[in-house]
Chain A
Amino acid sequence: MVFFYGLSKPTMNHRRSWPGESKFLGFVYLLPALVIYLVFILYPIFETFRLSFYDWKGFGSKPTLIYLQNYQEILQKGQFLSALSHNLVFIAFYSLLPILIGLILASLLGRRALPGMAFFRTGLFLPQILSMVVVGVVWRWIFNPAFGPLNMMLKSIGLTWLALPWLGDSTWALPSVGLIGSWVQYGFCMVLFLSGMQRIQPELYEAAELDGANEIQQFFFITLPGLRPELGVALITTVIAALRVFDLVYVTTRGGPGDATLVTSFLVYRSAFQQNRVGYAAAVATILTAIILVVSFLITRYQSKSEV
């Protein structure tokens, strides 16, 4: 092979085809992946979009075209906006808080070699690799007012008044579910920032230290700017996670108490599978997808702008 390429060096850019080789051979190699992408991703997205203009039970009789009625109903009912506002609250818990914790942990763990470092790193990353259903079940137990460890601990140190029925309390249910999200996401942010910090040249820190910058100044003027690409990645993935959260709500509160933890994806599930309103669910899903696309686009654009 090397021998061959060596010989044909001048024609590297316009390599002659093998005798009998098709120009499109390269595309054929892409075909399997493309087919899977088309069948399992693009087609369902398109179908969801198309169905959002129909009234359909999801099975049996044919869908009826009702144009924008589903969208009209979504905007008229307060439920969608209230669900979306819960998603926005979740951005604070799924995105901002984990990034903050991740930054703090990364700067603590990243700059010096602690004994048992690998252990800490693995342990702190663990929540990220657990299945969300497992996480939900475990936290339902932790939050349980009757025998959960959280309230037992609160009661044992005399904070009985604070031992609330967390997941069932109209005010505290949303932040409680949100905190579970923070617990899941911070490990991912931490690992991302740790790997990013390895790219930052140690000389920068040495120079800053010689100039008399303390650790906090070093963090703000070296670490933080150096982590900009990682911050962008962390922001996009966690914000998307906050906008499309479903499993955690399904396992812990099912949108309750009242509609206190109802989020957009849960509204999609409820409409489609419990109320047989697939068209309406598709419309909600389409709006959610559009919001996610716009938000991701804005974050990427902001990020690439600030890199220039």
Chain B
Amino acid sequence: MKTLIRVLSVVLVLIFTLSACTSKTVTTGDVTLVVWDQFYREAETQVIDTLNAEFEAAHPGVKIERVVKQLDDLKTTLKLALSEPNGPDVAQVNQGRSDMGAIVEAGLLLPLDDYAEQFKWDARFSASVNKRNSFSEDGKIFGRGNLYGVSATAEVVGVYYNETMFETNGWQIPTTYDEFVGLLDTIKAAGETPIAFGSLDGWNAIHEFSAIQHIFVTGQYLDDFVYAVNNVSFDTPENQAAAAVLSNWATAGYFTDGYSGIGYDDITKLFKAGQGAMTITGSWLAPELLADTDFEFGFFLLPQATADQAQLAIGGVGIPYSIRKNTLHPDLAAEYLDWMVSPRAAQLWAEASYVPAMPLPEDFTLEERSLFADTVLAWNRINQDNGVGHYIDWATPTFYDTIVAQLQKLLAGEIGPDAFTSQVQEDYGAFLADQ
């Protein structure tokens, strides 16, 4: 019997040690704010660490416990973490229905409207920006209802070009869509790859298609489509025309040779090494293009049909910071959010060549004709023209998987533009019918 007791006690001790490992140690007196973000790139991390240190210095007794994850990892773990009674106080929650929508529906996020008023966030963000971080209280209606997040960075998708190559060959930045198409031919004739592009990873194929789509459709259509109002369809002549253009570019050899087998990061490397005159992607790439390269790069928006037309381009704000509903320190968390979108934050992001979502500080001077200035001006332009478009994959929870698969088929010539739009519409139509 003694042995039995001894063995049992060992088992019990083991169980207790195991459970002790998972339980959290409570700090006395001081407040610890747990923040989950996905700013893992070195330049981003520096900005966040600086901001965190300054926040701690301004709030004695407050400690920021920062947890950094890559986006995929953050997305898969955050939902359960937010359900925990001691989950993160503040976290970056990806926009769209399958992330923010689902989390709001589960009642895990704190509505920020009162804080927005208190901190006057409306002066910093346009209504179009706030809509992207808004949901109805049941999480079903996107783009209306409560505000659930604020974003620190802005994003605009456009055309990066190799300035050095453009100057050597005497190529001009196109101001109309026809000029752009003509330029593709000229570059191809000169023996260079017009557009560095690789579709292996899938997600950037959406940007490639949708950048063209934004030339053909209206901002109203995109709003309706993404927010699922007014019963619009994906199977439209405009979308078919955009799909036809993409597929023509593929067959005309405007893309990197073997593009279907090359991933996004490898395309970036090739473009930085001078293989490809242009590449179509978002402003987030600018800091990476400035480091370790022999070339000068610039950025312009894919031009509309005529030069005086209002500019529409894929754009939006980065993944927003949200507050967990049951946090013990909602006011402190809101102060932290306010700090992350403060003029100081704008300045630090700009110094790191990231376009901030909030206005740049007045004393900040843009270095003329720099890549960063190009991206900031592009962002300002689409804001002025009320032409901040959308990431169309936010439309339905399955839209990303559907459109990536269909785009890869379209690019491979397995399906035509008509079949492409009708296949994608099947996904979108089923979603609308469910709503």
Q: Which A residues lie at the B interface, using CB under 8 A?
A: 20-22, 24-25, 28-29, 31-32, 57-61, 140, 143-147, 151, 163-170, 253-259, 270, 273-276
Contact = CB atoms under 8 A, between A and B. Distances in A.
Nearest to A58: B79
A256 B200 contact: yes
A276 B198 CA distance: 28
Nearest to B260: A168
B285 interface: no
A60 B138 CA distance: 12
A21 B406 CA distance: 69
Contact of A29 (B7, B275, B397, B405): B7
B260 A146 contact: no
Nearest to B412: A170
A275 B401 contact: yes
Contact of A59 (B79, B270, B401): B79
Given A58-B79, A143-B261, A168-B200, 16 more contacts: A25-B3, A28-B4, A28-B11, A32-B14, A61-B105, A146-B275, A147-B270, A151-B258, A165-B260, A168-B260, A168-B262, A169-B260, A256-B202, A257-B405, A275-B401, A276-B102
Residue of B76, B398, B401, B414 most packed against chain A (CB within 10 A): B401
A57 B107 CA distance: 13
A22 B260 contact: no
Contact of B80 (A59, A145, A167, A258): A59
A60 B14 contact: no
B169 to A, nearest CB: 22
Nearest to B80: A59
B201 interface: yes
Contact of B7 (A20, A28, A140, A164): A28
A169 B266 CA distance: 17
B291 interface: no
B106 A61 contact: yes
Residue of B257, B262, B411 most packed against chain A (CB within 10 A): B262
Residue of A24, A163, A259 most packed against chain B (CB within 10 A): A259
**Mostly helix, strand, loop or mixed at chain A's interface?**
loop
B258 A145 contact: yes
Contacts of A60: 79, 83, 102-103, 105-108
B412 A258 contact: yes
A151 to B, nearest CB: 7
B12 to A, nearest CB: 11
B412 A146 contact: no
B409 interface: yes
A165 B401 contact: no
Residue of B202, B256, B397, B405 most packed against chain A (CB within 10 A): B405
B79 A275 contact: no
B335 to A, nearest CB: 27
13 contacts: A22-B1, A25-B4, A57-B106, A58-B80, A59-B108, A60-B105, A163-B258, A164-B261, A256-B404, A257-B408, A258-B408, A258-B414, A259-B405
Interface in B96-125: 98, 102-103, 105-108
Contact of A274 (B11, B98, B199, B406): B98
A59 B8 CA distance: 36
B429 to A, nearest CB: 16
Contacts of B198: 168
Contacts of B300: none
Contact of B75 (A31, A61, A163, A273): A273
A102 B337 CA distance: 59
Interface string B49-84: 000000000000000000000000001100110110
A259 to B, nearest CB: 5
A40 B406 CA distance: 39
Nearest to A19: B1
A144 B261 contact: yes
Contacts of B398: 275
A254 B202 CA distance: 8
Given A169-B261, A254-B202, A273 B76 contact: yes
